[in-house]
Amino acid sequence: AFVAPLRAEDDRVMPWRAMLVLSDETSIKRADRMRADFLANASHELRTPLASLAGFIETLRGHARDDSEARERFLGIMFDQTERMQRLINDLLSLSRVEMDEHVPPSSETDLAALVEDARDYLRPQLEEKAIRLTVRKPASAPAIGDRDQLMEVLLNLIENAIKYSPEGSAVQIEIAGPLMRDEAERPELVLGAQASRLTLAAPASEPRERYFAVRIRDEGKGIERRNLPRLSERFYRVDGQKSGPKEGTGLGLAIVKHIVNRHRGGFTVESALGEGSVFSVFLPVPAAVREQARESV
């Protein structure tokens, strides 16, 4: 803030009149700070596997040169680290793409139910590896909604998390529901017990007459503590104790989901109970053209 003296028409300073100029720099500083934090985090995340690769190359050149068993093991670790870097770079690129087009409404439309089936096919190896039973509940007809590639990314991120943070042999349920009014779309799922906490990670753009289709993904995994829910969609955030090892996630998945949901003017909520499981829900407004038809079919 600064005080500017006012001058009269003949350029005399009028000391009894002044203008107080207040400018708010906190939001600019916050944005700068976030950018700097993001760069520092991204660099750190990439530097860790790179440093480990450099270390293993040194070892392979040195004392592991003639030890074929050690060599195989180290090459395996190096491969995992390279894959991790690829995942990170893919997620970083995805994030920057979705951020760039967040203000451009999606132009294409895709069949939500068919998309869920495609996601299930794509994830079949991971589901089989952990013997996870995936069930899908969907209405007789679901409308065409949103950008195919982006909604696929949303589904893959949420279903992969459900698999990753669940024990072997557990069940994951996907439900497509709609058309719903906004409060129905946002209403807490009663599938989790009274201990469950719930949080909105992205609020839908509100238009009173809008109808939504919700996709809910429910797991029987480890669940998330109430205090950790608000930070879930922050970039690089992982719940305490979640390692950032070669097989672990990048911490960018839910941030990507949130941007895509925002672009679709939809909502994104999480419900979770520690030791019981989680339900992640995304709900998307039904395009006007199919709204009537969708209502008739239910």
Q: Which residues bind ligand ADP (CB under 6 A)?
A: 157, 161-162, 165, 219, 221-222, 224, 232, 237-239, 242, 249-255, 278
Angle between helices 68-100 and 253-263 (to 10 degrees): 20
- Which is nearer to ligand ADP, 5 or 167 (by Cβ)? 167
Q: What burial letters (b/e) apply to 91-127, b meaning 16+ CB within 10 Å?
A: bbebbebbeeeeeeebeebbebbebbeebbeebeeeb
- Which is nearer to ligand ADP, 177 or 224 (by Cβ)? 224
| Nearest distance in Å: CB 184, ligand ADP | 23
Which residue has the CB atom at the shortest distance from ligand ADP? Answer: 249
CB 279 within 8 A of CB 218: yes
Rounded CA gap, 50 and 71, in Å? 18
- Which is nearer to ligand ADP, 38 or 237 (by Cβ)? 237
| Nearest distance in Å: CB 54, ligand ADP | 24
Could you tell me the two tokens for 207? 């238009």
- Which is nearer to ligand ADP, 156 or 176 (by Cβ)? 156
Give the DSSP H or E segment for 280. Answer: strand 277-285
| Nearest distance in Å: CB 122, ligand ADP | 17
- Which is nearer to ligand ADP, 30 or 231 (by Cβ)? 231
Read off φ and ψ for residue 120, nearest 5 degrees: -65, -45
| Nearest distance in Å: CB 67, ligand ADP | 34
- Which is nearer to ligand ADP, 144 or 239 (by Cβ)? 239
| Nearest distance in Å: CB 17, ligand ADP | 55
Evaluated on CA atoms 212, 190, 175, 203, the torsion sign reads: positive
| Nearest distance in Å: CB 262, ligand ADP | 15
| Nearest distance in Å: CB 276, ligand ADP | 11
SS3 category, 197: strand
| Nearest distance in Å: CB 147, ligand ADP | 20
Non-local CB neighbours of 166 within 8 Å, separated by 6+ positions: 130, 132, 172, 219, 220, 221, 222, 277
- Which is nearer to ligand ADP, 32 or 225 (by Cβ)? 225
Rounded CA gap, 196 and 192, in Å? 6
Query: How buried is 158 (Cβ within 10 angstroms: 0-12 exposed, 13-18 middle, 19+ buried)?
Result: buried
- Supply the DSSP symbol for 166: S
**Which segments of the chain does DSSP mark as H helices, in order?**
26-61, 68-100, 112-129, 148-164, 182-186, 253-263, 288-296
- Which is nearer to ligand ADP, 78 or 162 (by Cβ)? 162
